[in-house]
Every structure is written in C-alpha cells, then in structure tokens.
C-alpha cells in the first residue's frame, strides 16, 4: 500500500524533489514580479478546460437550500485573467480535478497545476518566460546534493528549447512515415518522435488549428485562445523528452464580441448545453471582464507532476506524487 511506502521512507526523495521544485517556482515568480493569488476551487462551468465532459460535479445547496451543481476546478485561468488588470502578472499553485476514465501512465484524477498570467507579453514572451522558469527549476535541483538527475538536467540547461509550428510538425512526422493529417491531435508517441527529430531538447509546439468543432480525434483548443488568422491559434504546448505535453498556454482574446462568438461556436458550448446548463448565463461574469485586444493577457498551465516526472526520469506520473488519485489508486 502506498501509505506504507510513505511511512518507511521509500518516497522520501520524491517529497524532497517536489518541495525543491515548488520552492524554486515561487522564487522565480517573485523574482519576475508575479503575485501569488488563490482562486476558488469550487466553480461553475467556467472552471473547465477544453473538454467539459471531464469536469467533476459536486452537489451543494443554494441560498434557499435547493440542490445546486458546481464543479471542481480544472483551471483557474478565467479567474486569473481579470486579476491581471490590477496586478499585471499573477500566478497560482493549486489542485486540478479531471474525470479521467482510463488507467494510463500520464493521467491523474487530481494533480497539481501551476498557472500564470500576464499582460506585458504575448506568445513569444510567454515561451521565453516558461523556458526561464523551467531552467531555473533545473538549476535548483542540480544544486541539491545526493540526487541522480545532475547530468541529465545539465544537458538541457546548455541549449535552448526548440520551437516548431503545428503545421511543420505534421510535415516532419509525415516525412518520417507517421500516418497523420493536418488537424489531427498528436499522440504521446508522436510527441516523442518530434522531440527526438528536433534535437532532443524540450520542444514548444505552436499555432495549433483553430477549428472550433473538430472531428473526433482532432485538435480541440480553448475558445478564449486568440487566433493569428482564421485557421490557427496563438498558442503553445511544451513537450518534455520522455514525458510529452507538460504545458499548455496561449494569448487570450481581448475583444468581448469576438470571444462570445468563439464561445458559441465551440464544442464546449454544446457540451455545457447538453448537461442542462445555460452556457451564456454561466460565462457572463467572465465576458464582463474582457476589455479590449490591447490589454488582453497571455498565460499557461503547467502540469507539476509531469515536470517532476521529467526531473526524476520516472516511468509513470503515479510515481511523482505520494498519494496518487486515479482509477487504480483511490485509497487511502
């Protein structure tokens, strides 16, 4: 049982590495003028990511004592964005909850999500911020005595993270015999092929398709992502060697009419309606915070356990948290 592994010290190194990386992140955020904030964990449908069916509902009561459905947060993004109007750069470290239906080495029901948002950088600046943050974490781990990750992380400090558009990534995969078409989502195997073919460094994949309702197996992106044109989004995913996608980020839409339009065109809108919830009413508070394109923010979410998986070279994400929560790990 996992609690006995904690008791007898088998997970001692894991706990130390997690604490080391969390402390490094907070140090980096403070040094780079980010303010730590604490958004709500119980939200409406606005706390969901691209795929609303993964939202976990909780029954509470309203002011009259009637049942009311709320959701455990998947992302704090929509609460962070308006906070940037007052503070510019903000971040939060909290729990994310998703209804994962399959047992995999990459997914948990409950995981730690590090999110940050700012108004003084766009897509390239966002990737610069992420690379700086990750390398600072690597440097901090390297300074710790008695770990076995020293040389592995040093290699990644000495070279820049790669950057590649989604369209170019599809062409590269196809030229190396992978059967995949433009608009299809990448598998974890595809991600690792791309990392290998682009030099083995962490890889930013940018400008994914902007199709609001892709076919099954297609790329689904959050409705609030800005679009460079009618076809691609101003977004990036960070792929780590041996792990895959660890970060998802984007520039946000700043036009209130445009973001309403993109919301109503999205699969998320349709899924929320199918759940018996009024999407427009649920998201109206958020739309009221949208001002204009000149002051829109950019930000991202970092899967903390996947970062730990990379640092520790672990085979499974369940080896990167003391008490994993997934279909095959429910208790204690």
Residue by residue, pLDDT tens for the chain (332 residues) are 778 777 787 889 899 999 999 999 999 999 999 999 999 999 999 988 888 999 999 999 989 999 989 999 999 999 999 999 999 999 999 999 999 888 888 889 999 999 999 999 999 999 999 999 999 999 999 988 655 666 678 889 989 999 999 999 999 999 999 999 999 999 999 999 999 999 999 999 999 999 988 988 899 999 999 998 878 999 999 999 999 999 999 999 999 999 999 999 999 999 999 999 999 999 999 999 998 777 799 999 999 999 999 999 999 999 999 999 998 887 77
Separation in Å, CA 302 to CA 7, 186, 197, 278: 29, 18, 24, 30
What CATH architecture applies to the domain 2-320?
A: 2-Layer Sandwich (3.30)
| CB contact set of 216 (below 8 Å; sequence gap of 6+) | none
Separation in Å, CA 179 to CA 151, 172, 174, 199, 232: 35, 11, 6, 22, 21
| Domain locations in the chain as residue ranges | 2-320
Residue pair 118/90 in contact by the 8 Å Cβ criterion: yes
Residue pair 53/10 in contact by the 8 Å Cβ criterion: no
Q: Which residues are registered as beta bridge partners of 91? A: 36, 116
**Entry pTM:** 0.95
- What would the two tokens of residue 225 be? 């992502």
CA gap 152, 211 in Å, rounded: 38
């Amino acid at each position: 049982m996992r609690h006995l592994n904690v008791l007898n010290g088998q997970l001692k190194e894991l706990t130390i590495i997690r604490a080391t990386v969390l402390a490094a992140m907070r140090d980096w955020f403070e040094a780079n003028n980010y303010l730590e904030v604490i958004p709500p964990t119980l939200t409406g449908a606005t706390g969901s990511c691209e795929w609303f069916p993964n939202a976990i509902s909780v029954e509470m009561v309203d002011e009259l004592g009637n049942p009311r459905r709320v959701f455990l947060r998947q992302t704090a993004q929509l609460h962070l964005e308006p906070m940037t109007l007052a503070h510019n750069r903000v971040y939060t470290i909290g729990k994310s909850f998703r209804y994962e239906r399959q047992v995999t080495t990459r997914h948990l029901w409950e995981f730690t999500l590090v999110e940050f948002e700012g108004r003084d950088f766009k897509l390239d600046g966002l990737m610069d911020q992420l690379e700086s943050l990750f390398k600072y974490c690597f440097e901090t781990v390297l300074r710790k005595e008695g770990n076995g990750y020293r040389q592995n992380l040093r290699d990644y400090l000495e070279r820049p993270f790669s950057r590649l558009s989604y369209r170019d990534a599809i062409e590269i995969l196809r030229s190396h015999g992978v059967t995949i078409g433009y608009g299809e989502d990448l598998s974890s195997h595809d991600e690792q092929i791309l990392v290998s073919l682009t030099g083995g460094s962490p890889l930013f994949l940018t400008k994914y398709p902007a199709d609001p309702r892709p076919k099954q197996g297609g790329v689904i992106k959050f409705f609030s992502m800005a679009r460079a044109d009618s076809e691609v989004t101003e977004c990036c995913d960070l792929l780590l060697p041996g792990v895959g996608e660890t970060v998802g980020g984007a520039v946000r839409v700043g036009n209130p009419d445009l973001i309403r339009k993109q919301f109503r065109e999205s699969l998320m809108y349709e899924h929320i309606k199918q759940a018996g919830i009024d999407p427009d009413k649920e998201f109206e508070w958020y739309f009221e915070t949208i001002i204009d394109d000149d002051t829109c923010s950019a930000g991202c979410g970092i899967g903390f356990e996947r970062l730990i998986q990379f640092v520790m070279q672990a085979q499974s994400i369940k080896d990167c948290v003391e008490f994993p929560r997934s279909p095959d790990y429910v208790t204690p």
